Amino acid sequence: MRRCDLIVLGAGPAGAEAALAASGAGLDVVLVEEAAAAGGQVWRAPAAASPPGLDPFPAEAEARAGAALRARLAASPVESWFGARAWSVIRPAEGGFRLDAAGPEGPLACAAPRLVAATGAVERVIPFPGWTLPGVIGLAAATVLLKAQGVLPGQRVVVAGCGPLLAAVAAKILAAGGEVVAVVDRAAPAEWLAASRALASRPRLLARGLGWALRIAGRRVPVHFAHAVRAAEGDEALRRLRIAPLDASGGFAPGGAERVLEADALCIGDGLVPGAEIPRLLRARLRFDRALGGWVPELDAEGRTSLPGLFAVGDGAGLRGQAPAVHAGRIAGLAAAQEAGRLDAAAFAAATAPERAALAGLAPFAAAMAGLMALRPGAVRDIAPETVICRCEDVTRGMLDAAFDEGAREVNQVKHFTRCGMGPCQGRSCGDVAAEIIAARLGGAREAAGFWTGRPPLRPVPLADLLGEFDYADIPIPAPAPL
Ligand SMILES: Cc1cc2nc3c(=O)[nH]c(=O)nc-3n(C[C@H](O)[C@H](O)[C@H](O)COP(=O)(O)OP(=O)(O)OC[C@H]3O[C@@H](n4cnc5c(N)ncnc54)[C@H](O)[C@@H]3O)c2cc1C
C-alpha cells in the first residue's frame, strides 16, 4: 500500500494541474489515470508518434498543450500511475481515503488523508432506432479515434448532436481527407446567435470555431440546424440515416419532413454529463444543476465537497470546459496543500488570486458552451418504446415505462425492476436519459427521479485484481459442524 499526502484521480487538465500545484507546494502526490498518459479528453496523447511527414493529423494547439503538460508532469515529483483503472475508493475507519486500481501489472492501492476527484465528463447519446448498429459511434469516441489513433471513423460520415464538438469533429475529418456527408445540429441558428456574445469573450476560441465553420462551408457540407437523427438503418452495419426537424422543445416537430442521408459512419453526441462518480460513491452531497450538465457535487470556492478531505474539480464537478478545469484544479491542489499545513493563509491567497480571477473571466464562455450542450426538455419525448436505452442490459424505453406503470418512481427502483444501468458501464451511458424519462413521467421533476447510488466497481475489473495475490492453502477452512 502506497501512502501519500494527496491522491488525485484523473490526469486531464483539472487533475494534472491539481497534482502539479499540490506537489509544487510540497505535498507527496500520487496521480492515478487509466489512460497511458496525461492529457484527459481534450489533450489526449497520440498512441504512437507518426513518422515525420506521414502524420495525417498535424499537431494543433491542443496537441502542443498536451505535450507541454506531460513534460511538466514528467519533470515534477508527482508519482503518476498511468494505465491504472481506479475501481474502488473508500473511506477507511482510520480516516482519509483508500483507492484501489487495476494497474498494467496487477492491483495497485494507495491511501491519503485527501483526494481530488478529477474524473471528467461522459458523453450523452439520446437513443434512436439503430443506434447500436456498427458504424454508429459517439462524437467523443470520434475525437479519441482522430486524436489518439489517427483513424477516420468511416468513408462517408455524418456528424450529429449538439455543442462545439460537432464542428470540431467535422472539421478534423475534413482536414484529414475524409468525407463529411452532413452536420446535423440540434441547436437552431438562433441558439448559436444567443450564445455569440458570451463566445466572443474568448476571441481566440471563437476564431478557431469560425475556422472550423469556414472549412465545413468551404467544402459545401450541408448543415441541418434544429434537426436530429430519427433512425439509423442497415443490415449488419450502418447504411443510411433518417433525420427530421425539431420543435422549440427539442422534440421532433410533428409532421416535419424527413431526409435520408447515405452514410457508413455516424458520429453522434448529444452533450456531456459530469462524471461525478466519486462524490456519488462516497455519499457526498449532490445537487441537480441543468446548466452544469446534471448532478454535481456541492462545492465551496476551493472545490471542497461536503466530505472533509474530498475535492472535486473539472468537468466531473460540472461542465465548464478545459480552461476553467485548469484553474479549478490548481485552486483545489493549493487548498489541499494549505489544509496539510504547507501553505499559510497569505501564501494561499496570493497563489490562488490569479486562478480565481481567471475562472471568473471564463465563466460566461463556459456557461454558453454548457448551454449549447444541455439536454433539451423534449429530447426524450419521442424515443420509441422498442428503442434500447441501456445497451449493456438490453433495456428498452418500453420496459422503463412499464416499470413506472408498476410503481417505480425513482431511478434506483427502475434499476431493480429492469436491470437498467446494472451492466459493465454501470449506467454511465444510459443513466442520464433513463432518469430524464422517469422525470418526464413524474411531470418533469428531475430531482425527484434521483440518481443511481454509486457502487464499486467504478470500472469493469478482473477478479484477480480484486483478490490480489493469494494461495488456496492460506484460505482458512472452518471446521465442519458436528453431525
Ligand atoms: C470523450 C470526450 C472527448 C472530448 N473532446 C474534447 C475536445 O476535443 N476538445 C475540447 O475542448 N473538449 C473536449 N471534451 C471536453 C473536455 O473533456 C473537457 O472540457 C476537459 O478535458 C475537462 O478536463 P477534466 O480534467 O475535467 O476531464 P478529462 O479531460 O475528461 O480528464 C479526466 C481523466 O480522468 C480519467 N479517469 C476517469 N475515471 C477514471 C478511473 N476510474 N480510473 C482512472 N482514470 C480515470 C480519464 O481517463 C481522464 O483522463 C471532451 C469530453 C469527452 C468526454
The DSSP code sequence of 319-382 is ---HHHHHHHHHHHHHHHHHHTTSS-HHHHHHHHHHHHHHHHHHHHHHHHHHHHHSPPTTTTTT
- State whether 261 and 335 are in the same domain: no
Q: Is residue 341 part of a domain?
A: yes
| Ligand 1 nearest-atom number relative to CA 86 | 42
Q: Where are the alpha helices (DSSP H) in 114-164?
A: 139-144
Residue nearest to atom 29 of ligand 1 (CA): 40
Whether omega before 457 lies within 30 degrees of 0, making that bond cis, reads yes
For position 62, which CATH number holds? 3.50.50.60
Nearest CA among 118, 135, 341, 316 for reference residue 240: 135
- State whether 263 and 129 are in the same domain: yes
Residue 477, φ and ψ in degrees, nearest 5: -105, 115
Q: Is residue 221 part of a domain?
A: yes
- State whether 258 and 242 are in the same domain: yes
Q: Can you give the pLDDT at residue 374?
A: 87
Mutation to probe ligand 1, out of 17, 30, 42, 64 (largest number of atoms < 8 A from CB): 42
- State whether 245 and 285 are in the same domain: no
Q: Is residue 343 part of a domain?
A: yes
Q: Is residue 435 part of a domain?
A: yes
| Ligand 1 nearest-atom number relative to CA 138 | 1
C-alpha cell at 266: 455516424
- State whether 264 and 158 are in the same domain: yes
C-alpha cell at 163: 455543442
Residues contacting 64, CB < 8 A, separation 6+: none
| Total Cβ atoms within 10 A of residue 100 | 26
C-alpha cell at 333: 491542489
Domain total of the chain: 3
Mutation to probe ligand 1, out of 20, 41, 331, 455 (largest number of atoms < 8 A from CB): 41
- State whether 59 and 179 are in the same domain: no
- State whether 242 and 284 are in the same domain: no
Q: Can you give the pLDDT at residue 48?
A: 61
Q: Is residue 462 part of a domain?
A: no
Q: Can you give the pLDDT at residue 467?
A: 74
CA of 464 to the centre of ligand 1 (A): 28
Q: Is residue 352 part of a domain?
A: yes
- State whether 135 and 254 are in the same domain: yes
Q: Is residue 74 part of a domain?
A: yes
Residue nearest to atom 46 of ligand 1 (CA): 10
- State whether 19 and 118 are in the same domain: yes
Contact 41, 274 (CB under 8 A): no
| Domain around 442 | 388-449
Q: Is residue 482 part of a domain?
A: no
The tens digit of pLDDT for each residue in 289-320 reads 988 999 999 999 999 999 999 999 999 999 99
Contact 316, 120 (CB under 8 A): yes
C-alpha cell at 218: 468551404
Ligand 1: which residues within 6 Å by Cβ? 10-15, 32-35, 40-42, 85-86, 118-123, 140, 143, 165, 168, 272, 314-316, 321-322, 325, 458-459
- State whether 243 and 136 are in the same domain: yes
Contact 13, 314 (CB under 8 A): yes
Overall pTM > 0.85 = yes
Out of 268, 302, 331, a domain closes at: 268
- State whether 15 and 111 are in the same domain: yes
Out of 209, 236, 268, a domain closes at: 268
| Ligand 1 nearest-atom number relative to CA 87 | 41
Out of 229, 244, 268, a domain closes at: 268
Residue nearest to atom 17 of ligand 1 (CA): 41
Sites in the chain below the pLDDT cut of 50: 51-58
Q: Can you give the pLDDT at residue 52?
A: 46
Report in angstroms the alpha-carbon separations of 143 from 88, 372, 425: 28, 19, 20
Helix (H, G, I), strand (E, B) or coil at 30: strand
Distance CA 234, CA 232 (A): 7
- State whether 262 and 147 are in the same domain: yes
CA of 18 to the centre of ligand 1 (A): 15
| Ligand 1 nearest-atom number relative to CA 62 | 9
